[in-house]
Amino acid sequence: MSDRDTPLDGGDTVDPPRGFVDQANVTNERIHEEFDEGWPECWERAADLLDWSEPWTKVLNDDDAPFYEWFVDGTLNAAYNCVDRHVESGRKSHAAIKWEGKLGETRTYTYQDLYREVNEFAAALRGLGVEEDDVVTLYMPVIPELPIAMLACARIGAPHSVVFAGLSGKALGTRIERADSEYLVTCDGYYRRGNAFNLKNKADDALLKVDHDVRSVVVDRLGETLPHTIDDADRDYHELLDEHAGATVDPVPRSAEDMLFLMYTSGTTGEPKGVEHTTGGYLSQVAWTSHAVLDLEPADMYWCSADIGWITGHSYIVYGPLTLGTTTMLYEGSPDYPERDRVWDIVERNAVDVFYTAPTAIRSFMKWGEEYPESHDLSSLRLLGTVGEPIGPRAWNWYYEHVGNGECPIVDTWWQTETGAMMVTTLPGVDPMKPGAAGPALPGTDLDIVGSDGSSVAEGESGYLSITRPWPAMVRSLYDDEDRFIEEYWTETDDGWRYETGDRARIDADGYVSVLGRVDDVLTVGGVRIEITRVESTIAGVDGVVEAAVVAGANNMLYAYVSTESGRMGDDALRDLINETVERSIGTVATPLRIVFTTELPKTRSGKIMRRLLESVTNGEPLGDTSALRNPESVGELQAAIRDR
C-alpha cells in the first residue's frame, strides 16, 4: 500500500486545475475573510441571487436562539424563483429538466413547459382543497412529475413532504400521520432493473393505517404494464392537468421564515426526525452553494444522480439548479442497467458539465473497472462532486483520474438533512483540494471540534464536529417537537449556542476537516477505544477491497463485512492481507473476529451502509424494518454467510 493509499490521511494537496479556475464563478482569494469580516451581512450575497417580493429588514434575528430567523420581514416565492423569473427574462425555451427514464425514454421540459405544468398542477391542488400551510405528501420515484409537484406546492405556499419511493407503506403511513398531511401525490408504480413495481399498493396500505382522511392524486407512470385501481377518492394526475389546462395561479408571497418543506431524516441512527426548512434562508444558501461550489451557470447540463427523496435531491437536483436557471438532469434508473457503462453513456450523450454523486457509487464504478468510463468521451465534464460519506483517497484519486481525466476539481461536500445546504467543502475556484479531507468550513460558517467536556480539542485530534454560528439554510425545528429539536442538536455555551452534528471529525492546521463517521461509532474492546470507521477505512484501503463495514457483535467482538473486487470473494490471501493491514495500522485489538466477504453491503437510499442491520445479522436477531434498504437482496446472502461457518 503506497502512502497515498492510506485512507483518510489526506496530506497531499492538489491545486484546482488552471483551466477550471480560469472560468470559475468564484475566484476571489479573499472570499473566506470577506465573509468572516462582514458576518452575518455577508449572507446577503446569497439572498441577492434571488428575487424577493419584499426586501428583508434584518439579516439575522437571534433574540430567541437557537430558534434563529434569517432575512426577517422579507417575502418571496420559491417556485417564482425557480421558474417564472427565467421565463420572464427571455429564457423560456431553455431546457429546465432533462429526464432519462428507466426504459431509455427521454423527456425535456423547457422553462415554459415547466411554467405551464407547475401552474396547472398548482391550480389542481387548490381545486382539491389544498390551502396555504397544508402539508402535501409526495411519494414518487424520480419522474418529472415529482419536481413539478414540489414546485406546485411551493407556488401555493403548501409545504411538501417527500417520502422516498423505496420506503415501505408503513413508513409512508407514519410520515403522513405525524405530519397531519391530508393530501398525497403518488404514482402507480416504477421500474427497477427493468421490472415493474407497484407503488400504489404500498400507498393504499399506508392510508389504511392513517386516522384522518387523505385525498390522493395518482400519476400513471406504467400505463398498461401495471393496471392500478383508481378508487373513488383518487384523482388521476393527467386528467387533473387536462381539467386545468392553461390555468395560472399567482405565486403566493411567503415570509422568508415560512416552511418550504418538511423532510424526514433517513433514520440510519434512530427514529426519523421531521426536519423543517424555510423559504428564504434555505433557498439563499442552496442557490449560493450551487453557484460557488457546484459552479453552475444557466448554460450547463448538470447531473446529480441522487434520489429526489433525499435532501441532496431537494437542494441540488431541484431548488439550487433551477433557481440559477440551469438544466438539471433526472435519471430514474440504476447505474448498471442495462450495462455498467450506463452513467458514462448518459454523461456522453448529454454532454454533462457538472456531475454530483456519492462515494458509494464511485466505489461501485471502481469495482466494475475503469474500462467503462474509458469507453466514453467524458471531456464535457468540468467539475465533479461527492456527498454522503467520507470518500477515502483511493476512491478520490480514481474519480479524479478516470472520470475527471485530471482536469476537473472534486468538491467533497459535507452536509446533512438538517444543514439544508453544503457546509464543509473546498470552493473549487479558490481552495486547493486534499483527498480524504472534505475541506474548510464554507465562507460564512464556523465550526469547532470539541471533546466530551465541550472544549476544543487539539489540532489533528478527533472529536465532535459542531457548528458555532447559525447559517441561513439551517433546520428551524422538528415538526411539532421543539423540545426534541433543542435536545437533539443544541448545547448552550458561554458564547451562545452550538449545533452538534453527531459526526466525529478532525481538523488540520489549514482548517481542513476530515469527517471520520458518527459519534456513536466508537467501541471499547479490551479496555481500548476503537473508532469503527478507522477500522473500516483501513480495510477499505486494502487492494482488492471495495467497501467494508465493521460492527460489534453481542460478544463485543468486531465483525467485518467486506465487498471485494470481482473474483476475489473466496480469496484467503486477501483475508490474510486484511488482517495484517489492520494489525499493522491499528493493532491486534482491532482485528476482526470474522471477515465475511460479500458482493454487496446493505445500503439506504443515500448509499449509506445500514450498520444497525448488520448488527442484527451478526447476532442472528430479527431484522426489523428493512424497507429503507435499496438492496434488500443483499441481506439474505449475508445471513447465509454468517450461518455457514
Q: Which residues bind ligand ATP (CB under 6 A)?
A: 265-269, 311, 387-390, 412-414, 416-417, 438, 501-503, 515, 518, 606, 608
Separation in Å, CA 493 to CA 230, 260, 454, 490 = 55, 30, 9, 10
456 φ, ψ to 5°?
Answer: -60, 140
Please identify, using beta-carbon distances, which residue of 134 and 488 lies nearer to ligand ATP.
488
Please identify, using beta-carbon distances, which residue of 76 and 475 lies nearer to ligand ATP.
475
At closest approach, how far in Å is the CB of 476 from ligand ATP? 16
At closest approach, how far in Å is the CB of 425 from ligand ATP? 8
Please identify, using beta-carbon distances, which residue of 144 and 385 lies nearer to ligand ATP.
385
Separation in Å, CA 36 to CA 42, 61, 472 = 8, 18, 15
At closest approach, how far in Å is the CB of 492 from ligand ATP? 22
User: Beta strands 274-278 and 259-264: pairing type?
Assistant: antiparallel
Rounded to whole angstroms, the Cα distance separating 259 from 255 reads 9
61: Cβ contacts below 8 Å, ≥ 6 apart: 68, 69, 70, 72
Angle formed at CA 391 by CA 389 and CA 392, multiple of 5 degrees: 135
Please identify, using beta-carbon distances, which residue of 101 and 392 lies nearer to ligand ATP.
392
Please identify, using beta-carbon distances, which residue of 115 and 164 lies nearer to ligand ATP.
164
Please identify, using beta-carbon distances, which residue of 158 and 442 lies nearer to ligand ATP.
442
At closest approach, how far in Å is the CB of 65 from ligand ATP? 22
Segments in 441-571 forming alpha helices (H): 482-489, 532-540
Q: Which uninterrupted H or E stretch holds 123?
A: helix 111-128
Closest CA to 204 of 235, 236, 175, 170: 170
Please identify, using beta-carbon distances, which residue of 117 and 503 lies nearer to ligand ATP.
503
Q: Which uninterrupted H or E stretch holds 109?
A: strand 106-110
At closest approach, how far in Å is the CB of 478 from ligand ATP? 12
At closest approach, how far in Å is the CB of 302 from ligand ATP? 19
Please identify, using beta-carbon distances, which residue of 444 and 607 lies nearer to ligand ATP.
607
Q: Which uninterrupted H or E stretch holds 577?
A: helix 572-585
Please identify, using beta-carbon distances, which residue of 382 and 611 lies nearer to ligand ATP.
611
Rounded to whole angstroms, the Cα distance separating 323 from 320 reads 5
Please identify, using beta-carbon distances, which residue of 514 and 563 lies nearer to ligand ATP.
514
The amino acid present at 202, given as its one-letter code, is K
Q: Quick one: 437 exposed, middle or buried, by C-beta within 10 A (0-12, 13-18, 19+)?
A: buried
At closest approach, how far in Å is the CB of 583 from ligand ATP? 26
**HEC profile for 239-276?**
HHHHHCCCCCCCCCCEECCCEEEEEECCCCCCCCCEEE
Please identify, using beta-carbon distances, which residue of 390 and 393 lies nearer to ligand ATP.
390
Rounded to whole angstroms, the Cα distance separating 479 from 540 reads 38
At closest approach, how far in Å is the CB of 415 from ligand ATP? 6
320: region left, alpha or beta (phi > 0 left; psi from -120 to 50 alpha) = alpha
Separation in Å, CA 608 to CA 104, 253, 279, 335 = 27, 37, 28, 16
At closest approach, how far in Å is the CB of 502 from ligand ATP? 6
248 φ, ψ to 5°?
Answer: -125, 150
